[in-house]
Amino acid sequence: MEAERNALWFERLLAELGHELWVGDAARIRALAVREQKTNERDAAHMLELMLHDRFPRIWVPSPAERDLRQLLLHRHKLVQMRTQVKNQLQHLALNQGVQRKHPLVEPGRDRVAGAVEPAALKCNLVATHYYGGDGSV
């Protein structure tokens, strides 16, 4: 099989049925073919010929456990990015309200920010920053 993005379900099905799946580098498979019209029939015959002559360009495929771990790491990375964005936005709001601390989100800074900013003004600033950019202008 040539490498494809949306074939994970097929890989899992074959693994459940006890079959070994070989995934090949599509560019190298095509480079080894005689230049003809590309059809599924010719592609299948060409891949069979490469396998029979032990020239099929296999690529490494992660195991299901490795795929799951990669998904978890990607999800964690996105969560960290979201946290960083929120912290930066809150720090921006604090600086706009005159709180001049290097890290206003640490415990002593949180108390100072809570006392310096009215909740309604904070909500208004968050909406304006989100929709219009940094200064709230249209």
Q: Is 91 helix (H, G, I), strand (E, B) or coil?
A: helix
* 110 φ/ψ angles, rounded to the nearest 5 degrees: -65, -45
CB-based contact 88:59 (threshold 8 Å):
no
Span 7-27, mean pLDDT? 83
Tens of pLDDT, residue by residue over 102-117, are: 655 565 656 665 665 5
Q: Bigger pLDDT: 3 or 28?
A: 28
Residue-level pLDDT at 121: 54
**What pLDDT is attached to residue 107?**
59
Per-residue pLDDT tens over the stretch 60-90: 888 888 988 999 999 999 999 999 999 999 9
- DSSP structure class, residue 54: T
What pLDDT shows up at residue 104?
A: 52
Mean predicted confidence (pLDDT) in 27-42:
73
More confident residue, 5 or 31: 31
